[in-house]
Structures are given as structure tokens and as C-alpha cells.
Amino acid sequence: MQFALNEDQVAVRDMALAFAAEKIAPHALQWDEEKHFPVDVMREAAALGMGGIYIREDVGGSAMSRFDAALIFEALATGCPTTSAFISIHNMASWMIDAFGSDTQRQKWLPKLCTMELIASYCLTEPGAGSDAAALRTRAVRDGDHYVLNGQKQFISGAGGTDLLVAMVRTGGDGPGGISTLVIDGETPGVSFGANERKMGWNAQPTRAVMFENARVPVANRLSEEGVGFKIAMAGLDGGRLNITACSLGGAQTALDKARSYMKERKAFGKRLDEFQALQFKLADMAIELEAARTFLWRAAAALDRKDPDATMLCAMAKRFGTDVGFEVANHALQLHGGYGYLSEYGIEKIVRDLRVHQILEGTNEIMRLIVARKLIEGAR
């Protein structure tokens, strides 16, 4: 069990914190307002090894652990949860190629993915298949050395601004056994994108539908065998759930820090806010919940690194708990600011808006409960 960071882990975390403070935080509000996708800054992060955090070294990856990744994404999210979350999605899609691709596929795509010269999106959700991912309907029909794709993906982060789409498609019959994974060039004829969605938060990354209309994708772009795609997608989501939890904690930590600073400055009824015991208790509870969620995240990340049989359940547990805590801490921080928290210039309302979606994506928190319940019930038999 790990309850303290070693020197290397402290160095990695501090590097990411410094990058977030210098390169991300000063621009986060502007990126949100202008809906700017900061590809140039993300490539600077990739130059420091954050474009392929847990990708193997032979293709330019950093070969770090999931535990290291959790530290990095939390640190980056202190500057902007949205930017950190997209870098995490890019890492998740890239890892799927690294873990399940052939050596030819790895050498073709991963060196440029690790530098973020190429940027990847993860394409699973469909208009009629959100939580019920095994019901996806995007169809890929074999035609010689190609698949012909027809269908639509929905809520795809980065779509229209990324180069590669790691997409789950149906090559066989109904259910999870009929799903395969294809790596698709975003400029393939027959691939098009919807309008950038108008969202509550996450404005610094585009979110669009992806449409396939007789798009021809080489069979050579399939990861592993036909019918393994659902397994690949779920394996990617274990790590993705840790990453998005880390992003929640980083955003919440910044909200807590802002609230603590504000309470030292603001006076009411002749006293500073931090002199009121009721508000001290609120601040303490926020810090306690955040630390508990961080400890849970670290445990789940360590379990995934050692391939623990309960890793999937622990990742689901950590995601449910951590993203709920992250949102609640940010929301309480807004309340502690009073009316000022509702103003964009203080940066709190952006964090609240950004963190709300973390309770939905990478599997809703209701689905996290379902994963845990199924594991518990199976274990009792």
C-alpha cells in the first residue's frame, strides 16, 4: 500500500503543476469564453512526456504508470479541468493502440500521437446507445481489404479538431461479441462532423457528432481480431475513469484553494469569513472529502497497475466517489464566495460547470454503481 509519494512521483507531479500554473491557468477563462481548443499548449505538454504517459518507450511514450498518470492529470486540472480531461482522452485512445495494436500499427501511429502531432478521439457513444454501449449500431461491412462504415457517433470529444478516431463499430451480430475497433483517419471520405455542441462546460474542447456515410477504412486499421472491440473499449475505460476522477480532484482543489483565500480577505459582520466556525467546518469537510477521494483514486490506480482482479470494480468505485466529491467541493466553494462566486472573473463557476459532466462521461455514476453491484453479487455466489 502506498501512502506517500516517492521522489520521482513528486517530481512528476510538480512538473505538471508548474506547467499548469504557467501555461494553462492564465488562459483558462479565455479559452472557455472563446471555445478555443489549445492544441499548441497541449503539444507543449506532450513535449514534456504528457502525450503518451503510459505508452511504451519504443514508440516515444513515457512508459509511466497509471498512478503517475493520476498525479499528472490532477495537477494539470488545477489549471483547467477541460484541457486536462482532453489530454487524458488522447492518452486513453493512444493506449488502446499501444495495448491492442500490432507492431506495425504501433509504429505507424504512436510516435506522432506521443508528440501530439497527431491527436486522437475516442468514439464509443451513439445517439441511441449511451450507457448501453453494447447496443451500438454503427455498421462496418467487409468489402475486400476495406470496411464500409455507416452510422453515427455522438458526444465525441475533440471531433473535428483531431486527426484519428479510435472507433467501436459493429462488424458482427448483436451484443458485445459483434463489436470491433478501427483506427480511422479523420479526413477519410465519407467521414463528417456535426456542429460544435453548445455545452454547459468543457468549452475549451470541441464536442461533435461523427457521421459515417459509406466511409472506406482499411481492414489493416482494425485493432486485434474482429469481435474484440467491446473488450478493448472497456479496458480503455478503466483507465479513463481514473483519469477523469483525477481531473475532478484537480479542479476541486483549485476551487477549495480559491475559497480559502477568499475567506481570508472577505469580511462580514465585522469578522473575516474564516473566523466563523460554521464556515471553518464547511472548509474542513471539503478538504476531508477531497483527501478521501484522492486516497481512493491512488488505491484504484495502484490496483490497475498491478492488474488486480478487482481493478475494474475499484476504478468504478473511485470514479463514482471522486467525481461526486469533486463537483460538490467546487459547488460549496462557489457558495462560500456568495454572489461573487457566480461571476465568471473569479473562475469558480467555470470549475463547477466543467466538473458537472464528469459525473456523466466515462460511464455515468449510476453505471458505476451497477458495475460495483454486479461484482459484489457475483462474488457472493
Q: Which of 197, 265, 362, 366 is catalytic?
A: 362
Under CATH, domain 7-119 is a member of which superfamily? Acyl-CoA dehydrogenase/oxidase, N-terminal domain (1.10.540.10)
230-378 fold: Butyryl-CoA Dehydrogenase, subunit A; domain 3 (1.20.140)
Hey, how many other C-beta atoms are within 10 angstroms of the C-beta on 304? Answer: 24
The pLDDT of residue 2:
60
Give the whole-angstrom CA distance, residue 300 versus residue 280: 30
d(CA 48, CA 116): 11
Backbone φ and ψ for 195, nearest 5 degrees, come out as -70, 150
pLDDT at 4: 83
CATH number, domain 121-225: 2.40.110.10
C-alpha 100/C-alpha 224 separation (Å) is 6
Q: What's the confidence (pLDDT) of residue 155?
A: 96
Q: What pLDDT was estimated at residue 129?
A: 87
Strand 164-170, strand 120-123: pairing: parallel
Nearest to 352 by CA among 343, 365, 361: 343
Report which of 287, 311, 290, 289 is spatially closest to residue 299, judged by C-alpha positions: 311
Angle between helices 277-305 and 229-265 (to 10 degrees): 160
Q: pLDDT, tens digit, for every residue of 234-254?
A: 999 999 999 999 999 999 999
Place of cell 486513453: 92
Cell reading at 329: 467541493
Q: Which residues of the chain have pLDDT under 50?
A: none
E-state strands within the chain? 120-123, 139-143, 146-157, 164-170, 179-185, 191-193, 207-218, 222-223, 267-268, 271-272
Q: Is 362 a catalytic residue?
A: yes
What is the per-residue pLDDT for 251? 98
- Residue spans per domain, the chain: 7-119, 121-225, 230-378
